[in-house]
Structure 1
Amino acid sequence: MAERRSATRSEIVAAAWDAARECGLANLTLREVADRVGMRPPSLYSHFDSKNALYDAMFGQAWSECLAVMTECVRNLPDTPRGVLRSLAATFFDFCVEDLARFQLMNQRIVIDFEPSADSYAPAVGTLDLFRNALAELGIRDQQDVDLCVALTGGLIDAQLANDPGGDRWRRLLDRAVDMFAENVGL
């Protein structure tokens, strides 16, 4: 029974992602999601008690996937400091631009009244901790330096998704931005 319930929840979340990709994250409706899984909307409430509960499951899934990708990246980092920075930035960049709806839920406040639960937020914290630890191993420990690195990467991601979705205009600038950052912090 628990296995079936879990499978149904997974199917609902997958349908919600499909709907968000087609209609926009903020336009997601429980009726649309229920229709996609062949369920009546009231039945959906036995799995998610609100639209924000569904967003919460999506948020947690997105950050869990990101944490897994970034963990794999950290396991296979290059030997040079700039190589490490480039690898971390490129892995996160590529993960984010792969899916606009996922990026918006993870990193922007598209859904105004949504706040993730502590459980769903934990993988986001884990991802930032992983990044922060990798930078610390390079000697980058100042919070302003960490914030600058995050902002540079995030800004290029935003520009890519807003101005050249599916292209590589801002992706091509990533190594240059990383090198500028590395130079600034003395690497």
Structure 2
Amino acid sequence: MVVSKVAQRREVKIASIVDAAWALARERGIQLVSLRDLAREVGMRQPSLYAYFDSKDALYDAMFADGNRQLLATLDAIDRPADPRAALKAYLGAFADFAVADPARNSLLFRRVIPGFEPSAESYAVAREALGRVLGVMNAAGVTDGGDIDCLVAITAGLIEAQLSNDPGGDRWLRHLDRMIDLLVDDATEGTTR
């Protein structure tokens, strides 16, 4: 499919607006991104911004998709170990590092802090792709039961939240992730591998 130069310029402009929105979110918090301030940041008037995003939720939707594409790129960059448990540790470790590296992005992607915001089906499909990759690694490590998957997700999310809340920039909580993975995988696979 051939993309016109006008469409290419529009996509470049949208990407620059989303980048500026992330910068504002990191500075002020994801909930405090305003279209007025964003328009000023990208050198346009607020009504002109509506040519790219018809609402604040549309902007959040674009940021949600962008953040999940960043997550996919992070997961794709992992040199996946052959051992399934080591691969799971690598994936969840990369996921946790990704989450704590950018609290604003973490808030939008994983915490539902924007009242009434629901990602579009198209944006959510990117998130589902990322989740699917992590689930595939969990399954390969023997974590296949829905309850066990939920527990592993909750453990990982809990360590991320504890890290962000209590030791930003440190590793007090995340350093326990591998141990928690071992405990859960051992429990999940008890009787099937022994």
Instruction: Work out the CA distance in 2 between the residues paired with 1:66 and 1:174.
Output: 19
* Larger relative contact order (CA 8 Å, sep ≥ 6): 1
Deviation at 1:81, TM superposition (A): 3.3
Asked if the contact 1:71/1:130 (under 8 Å) is kept, the reply is no
Measured against aligned partners, the alpha-carbon deviations of 1:128-157 in whole angstroms (never above 9, x if no partner) come to 111111222233211111111111111101
CA shift, 1:180, in A, is: 1.4
Residues 81 and 138, structure 1, Cα contact 8 Å, conserved in 2:
yes
Runs of 4+ in 1 over 3 A off after TM superposition: none
In 2, Cα distance between equivalents of 1:140 and 1:108: 24
Aligned mate of 1:51, from 48, 56, 60: 56
Distance 2:37 2:111 in 1: 23
Contact 2:163/2:170 (<8 A) preserved: yes
Give CA deviations for 1:157-177 in whole Å, capped at 9, x if unaligned.
Answer: 111111111111112111121
Deviation by residue 1:37-76 (Cα, 9 ceiling, x = unmatched): 1110000000000000000000000011112222332xx2
Instruction: Please report the TM-score for the alignment, with normalisation by the length of structure 2.
Output: 0.91
* Aligned residues with identical type, % of pairs: 46
2:92 and 2:156 in contact (8 A); partners too:
yes
Going from structure 1 to structure 2, the CA distance change for 1:82 and 1:138 (only over 3 Å counts) comes to: closer
Deviations 1:81-119 (A, max 9, x none): 331221111010011111000000000111111100001
Letter in 1 for 2:173: W
Cα pair 1:60 1:120 within 8 Å, conserved: yes
Determine if contact 2:26/2:104 at 8 Å carries over to the other structure.
Answer: yes
1:166 to 166, 169, 180: 169
Residue 14 (structure 1) aligned with residue 19 (structure 2): yes
State the Cα RMSD in Å: 1.3
Q: Displacement of 1:7 after TM fit?
A: 1.2
Unaligned runs of 5+ in 2: 1-5
Residue in structure 1 matched with residue 114 of structure 2 by the alignment: 111
Deviation at 1:78, TM superposition (A): 1.8
**1:69 paired residue number:** 74
Q: In structure 2, the residue corresponding to 1:185 is in which secondary structure?
A: helix
> Separation in 2 of the partners of 1:139 and 1:108?
27
SS at structure 1 position matched to 2:51:
coil
Of 156, 163, 166, 2:159 maps to 156
Which residue of 26, 31, 38 corresponds with 2:31? Answer: 26
